[in-house]
Structure 1
Amino acid sequence: MSRRRTSSGGYSPRKVNTREIRQRFLIVCEGEKTEPNYFRSFRVPKNVAEIDVKGLGENPSKLVNSAKELKQQEEYDQVWCVFDRDAWTPEDFNNAIKKAESQGFKVAYSNEAFELWYVLHFEFLNTGIPRSDYLQKLNLHLNRKYQKNSETIYDELFEKQATAIRNAINLLNQYNPPTPAKDNPSTTVHLLVQELNKFVQ
Structure 2
Amino acid sequence: MPKREDKRNYQHSGKSKYSRYSRNETVATREVIQRFLIVCEGKETEPNYFRSFRVPKDVIDIRGLGQNTISLVKEALKIMKEDGNYNQVWCVFDRDSFPVKNFNQAIKDAENNDIKVAYSNEAFEIWYLLHFEYRDTAMSRKDYKKALTEKLNKKYEKNSKEMYEILKNKQLQAIKNAEKLLEQHNPPNPVNDNPSTTVHLLVKELNKFVRP
**TM-score surpassing 0.5?**
yes
Partner of 2:70: 61
Choose from 70, 75, 86 the match for 2:79. 70
Choose from 50, 53, 61 the match for 1:52. 61
SS at match of 2:78: helix
Letter aligned with residue 57 of structure 1:
G
Contact 2:132-2:174 within 8 A present in 1 as well = yes
1:37 equivalent in alignment to 2:48: yes
Question: Could you tell me how far 1:98 is from its partner in structure 2?
Answer: 0.3
Letter aligned with residue 30 of structure 1:
E
Partner of 1:132: 142
Superposition RMSD on alpha carbons, in Å?
1.4
Partner of 2:130: 120
| Structure 2 residue ranges without an equivalent (≥5) | 1-26
CA separation in 2, counterparts of 1:162 and 1:151? 20
TM-score by length of 2: 0.84
The structure richer in strand per residue is: 1
Contact 1:18-1:198 within 8 A present in 2 as well = no
CA separation in 1, counterparts of 2:41 and 2:168? 23
Contact 2:88-2:115 within 8 A present in 1 as well = yes
SS at match of 2:156: coil
SS at match of 1:79: strand
**Cα gap change, 1:19 to 1:42, in 2 (>3 Å):** farther
1:180 equivalent in alignment to 2:211: no
Partner of 2:152: 142
Contact 2:31-2:59 within 8 A present in 1 as well = no
SS at match of 2:134: coil
Contact 1:116-1:185 within 8 A present in 2 as well = yes
Question: Could you tell me how far 1:141 is from its partner in structure 2?
Answer: 0.5
Aligned pairs, how many? Answer: 184
1:110 equivalent in alignment to 2:120: yes
Runs (4+) of structure 1 moved beyond 6 Å? none
Contact 2:100-2:191 within 8 A present in 1 as well = yes
TM-score by length of 1: 0.89
The structure richer in helix per residue is: 2
Structure of greater Rg: 2
Partner of 1:7: none
Partner of 1:170: 180
1:153 equivalent in alignment to 2:163: yes
Question: Could you tell me how far 1:45 is from its partner in structure 2?
Answer: 2.1
CA separation in 2, counterparts of 1:94 and 1:149? 26
Q: Deviations over 1:20-73 (max 9, x none)?
A: 141111000000100000000000024xx5201011111100000000000011
CA separation in 2, counterparts of 1:94 and 1:175? 15
Question: Could you tell me how far 1:154 is from its partner in structure 2?
Answer: 0.3
Contact 1:109-1:188 within 8 A present in 2 as well = yes
Contact 2:178-2:197 within 8 A present in 1 as well = yes
